[in-house]
Structure 1
Amino acid sequence: HGVDDIDRAKIPVQSSASSLPTDIGAADFTIEFWLRGFQNENRGRAVVCGDNEDWIYGSIVLDRDRFSSGRKFGLSIDGAGRVVFGVTNQERAARTVCGTGNVLDGQWHHVAV
């Protein structure tokens, strides 16, 4: 997945020269979007929820990871079609939280984490 940007969507971000620096994840935040997916187009594997970073094994939707920084988060869709969110704090303690429904049914779903 993602080889040569074939299955990636790129969202332009405003130049840092004209905006204030932001450290998303340093405080409470919400990620919200609409999703319409199909099982045959998403080959993420099953994800184990709990105290781990297993969210990275799903089909990645969002990955916020800085090299050499322990704090990171991301969102993926696992093999069962569940929305999966993961977060790791500065001390590298990780947590993966899984949704309960299948969002890969061809219908539009509002996702907020």
Structure 2
Amino acid sequence: MKAPSKVKNILQKMTVIVNVDPKIKDQRVSTKYPYEIINFVPFAGFDSESAAGWWQDYNLVKHFRADVPEKGIPNYQLAHLKNVMNALAALYILCQNLYKLLGESDLQLEPSKLFE
């Protein structure tokens, strides 16, 4: 599928990605030994109306880190390990899928020390 000429936000980008790879929303990665086994499905929270919670938190930290919304928790406290791990899991999935698409390329993805 051809991408729109001006993809402006993450929801539009995710629409393009899901059209190319519909299974991405269900893709799961797990941390591996010696770490505690934790499963991540980072794209499951995206739909046509809203981004996944970790992505929303990332943008609040990036653009409004010092703000304190109604909850009373400063946005910079959203920069926690769970959100970082979801972001890394998303990047890992995207890289894995890209290398599969490249197929016969000479490029090789180094095995992850964190995810399996």
Report the TM range for the smaller structure's normalisation: under 0.3
> Which protein has greater RCO, CA pairs closer than 8 Å, 6+ apart?
1
Query: Considering only CA atoms, is the larger Rg found in Structure 1 or Structure 2?
Result: 2
The structure richer in strand per residue is 1
